[in-house]
Structure 1
Amino acid sequence: MARLQGRAKADKIELLYCDESGFSCVPNVQRAWAPLGVTHLADASASRKRVNVIGALNYATGKLHFELFEHSVKRQHVVPFLDKLAQSSCQDKLTIVVVDNASIHHFIAPSMRDKWLYDHQFVLLYLPPYSPELNLIEILWKQAKYHWRSFTSWKKDKLVNEVSTLFKGVGNDFHISYA
């Protein structure tokens, strides 16, 4: 991976990290407290609205390509997303898209993968199983969920707009370092 990252920084290849994540109106609680002897309880009546995102992070430029969904992200959403990435990729150099071993990333028709390779020099690189630490977009998801979000404004009817605004700000309003 270090060699690929070096080649991407030298503008020899395009290196994209791709994955999906979900965002909810209910914040992810990492820690909680309660008085001694009292069990901590979460509010079950809170809204369960979710928005899911599929994204591809360009390693060299930090640009984020993304699409939001108000339903689960499935294989039939991943293939068109990757196809759009292939068509918009730099045609004069190799584009490598790093993906994990989620089932929605597999079973893409060989003819589609061949088309991406021959027409766009666009290939998928599958990470080893159980190695999310190698997919740098996971760091972006964590930053967005735990550090960049403002939970006071995330109402059920505004969730999609808030998540979209957040991801449009990556690189301008929100910065991340992978060092």
Structure 2
Amino acid sequence: MSPADRADLTALARNGSAAHRLARRANALVLLDSGWSCEKVALALLLDDDTIRRWHGLFVAGGIEGLTRFEAGGSACQINGEEQEKLKSWVAATLPGSTRQIGAWMEKEFGHVYAGRSGLIALLHRLGLEYHKPEVIPRRLDEEKQKAFMASYDKLLNSLADDEAVLFADAVHPTHAVRPAGCWAPSQEKLAIEQTSGRQRINIHGAVDLETGQTRMIEVETVDAASTIRLLEAIEALYPMLAIIHVFLDNARYHHAKIVAEWLAQPQRRIKLHFIPPYCPHLNPIERLWGVMHKHVTYNKSYATCTQFADAMLGFLREKVPRNWPRFRDSITDNFRVISPKDFRVVT
């Protein structure tokens, strides 16, 4: 048995949603491949050894698809090589969203009704087809600008003096609302989470130091040029002994505002701004911090009031992140990569 066949059969045997008869056959074949005799497998599955031999014969003759044929009401049918190629071409062209859609097309096109979702999934895997979730990428991406930014960033880090620091800044606008997320629980329990009554939003303008995990997070009524200056002042206060503080941020209009430029031009200022290329949030690690924040603060958590929600959010960003930075640092990194549309098949 090939490693691919064994992996598919093991997945079928472990799949709680697979048809019971098909899962038992997959289980039997995996045990046979592990060196068990037909008699031993039959004894373990409370069957007779002739049944196990017959299942083995179905597999030898037709692969995993052969196991999906059942004598009683067996409407599943193994498709031939020409039909397989036609199925692969259709899937590649149309990108169907479900096995139900694929099964319906096969029934209409070939007149075959596949017995069980698990058997159909096994067929698709054997044909080199997998279930994909498209990655969302910005519409306008400049590969050369990304490479230039990464080179400039590496050069800065390699020449950074002891009296300098690097931070990444951004704004986030979490809404006071429940975010249900999947979780493990006892099978007999039916889970629910109470929805909040309001849709209030809080505005946070913040920055993070990837070296130490220190953060500066301010809650503001509006994210604008004034809040940018407030944030930069808070950053300077965080590092009173440093000569230069490099702050990386995006190209939001308020970051380029005249009053921000005038503030930076003051003689005593120690902030130096660096701008991330347009449409490249993947080059700002604080975006990853926002994802970690939601995972720990909003997923499956309900806050009765927006004040409680804001306290939990700001408490996590201001206290828990710096205090537990060794735990979070692997998820909030400057391990940058260039994203090129040429590396993807862009779905339209």
1:117-156 map, 5 Å: 118-145=267-294, 147-150=295-298, 151-156=300-305
Amino acid at match of 2:281: P
Q: TM-score, normalised by structure 1?
A: 0.76
For residues 120-146 of structure 1, the C-alpha deviation after alignment (integer angstroms, 9 at most, x for no partner) is: 43211111111111111111011111x
How far, CA to CA, are the matches of 2:242 and 2:323 in structure 1? 27
Q: CA distance change for structure 1 residues 89 and 12 in 2, over 3 Å: closer, same or farther?
A: closer
Are the counterparts in 2 of residues 51 and 159 from structure 1 also a CA contact under 8 Å? no
Q: CA distance change for structure 1 residues 65 and 45 in 2, over 3 Å: closer, same or farther?
A: closer
Are the counterparts in 2 of residues 22 and 51 from structure 1 also a CA contact under 8 Å? yes
- The structural deviation recorded for 1:72 is 3.0
- Range that drifts further, 96-105 or 149-158: 149-158
Q: CA distance change for structure 1 residues 27 and 2 in 2, over 3 Å: closer, same or farther?
A: farther
Q: CA distance change for structure 1 residues 6 and 30 in 2, over 3 Å: closer, same or farther?
A: farther
* Structure 2 stretches lacking a partner, 5+ long: 1-152, 183-194, 336-348
Are the counterparts in 2 of residues 101 and 129 from structure 1 also a CA contact under 8 Å? yes
What SS class does the counterpart of residue 301 from structure 2 fall into? helix
- The structural deviation recorded for 1:83 is 2.4
- The structural deviation recorded for 1:48 is 0.3
How far, CA to CA, are the matches of 1:45 and 1:91 in structure 2? 44
- The structural deviation recorded for 1:163 is 1.0
Q: CA distance change for structure 1 residues 101 and 108 in 2, over 3 Å: closer, same or farther?
A: same
- Range that drifts further, 95-104 or 75-84: 75-84
> Which has the larger share of strand?
1
| Match of residue 15 from structure 1 | 166
| Match of residue 222 from structure 2 | 72
Q: TM-score, normalised by structure 2?
A: 0.42
Supply the RMSD in Å over aligned alpha carbons. Answer: 2.7
> Which has the larger share of helix?
2
Work out which of the two has the higher radius of gyration on C-alpha atoms and give 1 or 2: 2
For residues 100-139 of structure 1, the C-alpha deviation after alignment (integer angstroms, 9 at most, x for no partner) is: 0011211143331111xx3243211111111111111111
The percent of aligned pairs where both chains have the same amino acid is 20
Amino acid at match of 1:62: G
Q: CA distance change for structure 1 residues 2 and 159 in 2, over 3 Å: closer, same or farther?
A: same
How far, CA to CA, are the matches of 1:86 and 1:48 in structure 2? 34
Q: CA distance change for structure 1 residues 75 and 22 in 2, over 3 Å: closer, same or farther?
A: same
What SS class does the counterpart of residue 251 from structure 2 fall into? coil
